[in-house]
Structure 1
Amino acid sequence: MSFSIQFTHAITRRPAASITRGLRAVDTGNPDLALMQAHHDSYIATLRETGATVIELPPLDAYPDSVFVEDTALCLPQGAVVMRPGAPSRLGEAAEMAPHLHALYGEVVGITGAESFIEGGDILVTEREILVGRSARTNAAGIAELARLVAPWGHELREVHTPPGVLHFKTDCSLLDVDTILSTTRLSASGCFDGYRVIDVAEGEEAAANTIRFNDLVLMPAGFPRTRDAIAAAGYTVREIGNSECAKLDGGMSCLSLRFTPRK
């Protein structure tokens, strides 16, 4: 079973009413909570359609960005690593996630260094390595600490760089299968995916780069027809999910879940 694209479990969290205070690089207006929840429901239903167990956690009003659970942890077959988010307002989200991971995993460790910051949105797990993008939310100390934690589990980590002005590494890329990465041209041109097959998103559809391969489906944000057609033409089964409200907070498909197959 491929641990990078096949999963038995996912954890999500319902968006809170405080989502209107969520972080954003550019203010394009506040998200509509009801519409965001409708999109979230479709997202969860699609994950469950593959046969996965989806754990839906309640909203956390104290943490406006807590719907974006991916940033709180890295989930691998051998164990989970609790992150230390680089945005000060999000530090408490990781602690809120930790008990749920302990209930599912036999081994849970954490990023604890006072100078270490790292978010799950900067981490792309493939079958051969873990790529971690240095960004405004993930620093060298956080990457080094993560490398030390996952080494005993047999995982090699490679540091790469997130393009300037891009929030997270996975804002611009995602894994389509064990050998194939969907990417923006601004990221793939850096050579960070040498050795992989790369499918570039269509020009002007850079926001489509953040998808997730979840079992037999590729979930992608709705509204990017040329990239959708390119993914489908490559042989993947595509499911479009509304993402207009999450996009106002720089969120995408991967941000909304932790995806894993735990070993107790």
Structure 2
Amino acid sequence: MSDRSYRFTHAITRKPAASIIAGLRAVDTGTPDLATMQAHHADYIATLRETGATVIELEALDAYPDSVFVEDTALCLPSGAVVMRPGAPSRLGEAAEMAPHLAALYGDIRRIEGADSFIEGGDILMTETEILVGRSARTNAAGIAELARLTADWGEVVREVHTPPGVLHFKTDCSLLDAETILSTTRLSASGCFQGYRLIDVAEGEEAAANTIRFNDLVLMPAGFPRTRDRLVQAGYDVREIGNSECAKLDGGMSCLSLRFTPKP
């Protein structure tokens, strides 16, 4: 499929839990407001549904404050799904909670199981030709190697890259816009990891705009970054801005809030 990395029939989301106020964060910029987050989350889901996709909204998991960020729990590919092994100990249970929902949609479910393997979906950028996985505080070499082994017979090519120092996830700093184009911060694109792709850099000072998602014909980006928005519009993308103020307090963005896929039975 020539557009497998941004055309999807399904998405899985999870309602924010009241315990979100205890969510992990690199820097404390304030406590998230649950009602505001719920409103933003509803806008996000409505926008995904507008593209014609089926959105499966799972119930909140109060035992897991970060569970709204479902992307970290799995990698959904055309041939099957791989359940991740999050590098944050408090999030290990989230992956186990997601597995049965994926099993209901996919015929082939695999799992990262190595005791020394850690990998989170936020560090994984799927393009048309390869899977880029950023080493980070949450994703290690063993996790990347295990993912490569698990997906080799599906024809997937995994390439290890590096998340910039002090950045939570690889996709905190980049996102796929189409088969040839990546939106990136200059600190990440300067590493040369996107050689061969067309690059659009976020505006200086708007680094938090780098985490968008291309979902069918729409690009969903966090609200409040007008210069980056204008760059995307000028490049011909249909952009939708979604409030992200509360998720941002927990280092979360557009990609973190959903698993996006077209299941193959």
The Cα of 1:252 is off from its aligned counterpart by 0.1
Aligned equivalent of 1:123: 124
- Separation in structure 1 between the aligned mates of residue 33 and residue 100 of structure 2, nearest angstrom: 30
Stretches of structure 2 that go unaligned for 5 or more consecutive residues are none
Aligned length, in residue pairs: 264
- Separation in structure 2 between the aligned mates of residue 151 and residue 125 of structure 1, nearest angstrom: 14
The Cα of 1:177 is off from its aligned counterpart by 0.2
Aligned equivalent of 2:166: 165
Aligned equivalent of 1:57: 58
TM (norm. structure 2) is 0.99
The Cα of 1:184 is off from its aligned counterpart by 0.1
Aligned counterparts, 1:232-243, within 5 A: 232-243=233-244
Instruction: Please list the CA deviations of residues 230-257 of structure 1 after superposition, one character each: whole Å capped at 9, or x if unmatched.
Output: 0010000000000000000000000000
Please tell me whether residue 207 in structure 1 is matched to residue 223 in structure 2. Answer: no
The percent of aligned pairs where both chains have the same amino acid is 85
- Separation in structure 2 between the aligned mates of residue 201 and residue 150 of structure 1, nearest angstrom: 32
Aligned counterparts, 1:3-14, within 5 A: 3-14=4-15
Aligned equivalent of 1:17: 18
Aligned counterparts, 1:24-39, within 5 A: 24-39=25-40
Instruction: Please list the CA deviations of residues 183-213 of structure 1 after superposition, one character each: whole Å capped at 9, or x if unmatched.
Output: 0000000000000000000000000000000
Stretches of structure 1 that go unaligned for 5 or more consecutive residues are none
- Separation in structure 2 between the aligned mates of residue 37 and residue 10 of structure 1, nearest angstrom: 17
User: Cα RMSD between the aligned structures?
Assistant: 0.4
Aligned equivalent of 2:68: 67
Aligned equivalent of 1:144: 145
The Cα of 1:124 is off from its aligned counterpart by 0.1
Instruction: Please list the CA deviations of residues 110-140 of structure 1 after superposition, one character each: whole Å capped at 9, or x if unmatched.
Output: 0000000000000000001000000000000
Aligned equivalent of 1:229: 230
The Cα of 1:9 is off from its aligned counterpart by 0.1
TM (norm. structure 1) is 1.00
Please tell me whether residue 195 in structure 1 is matched to residue 196 in structure 2. Answer: yes
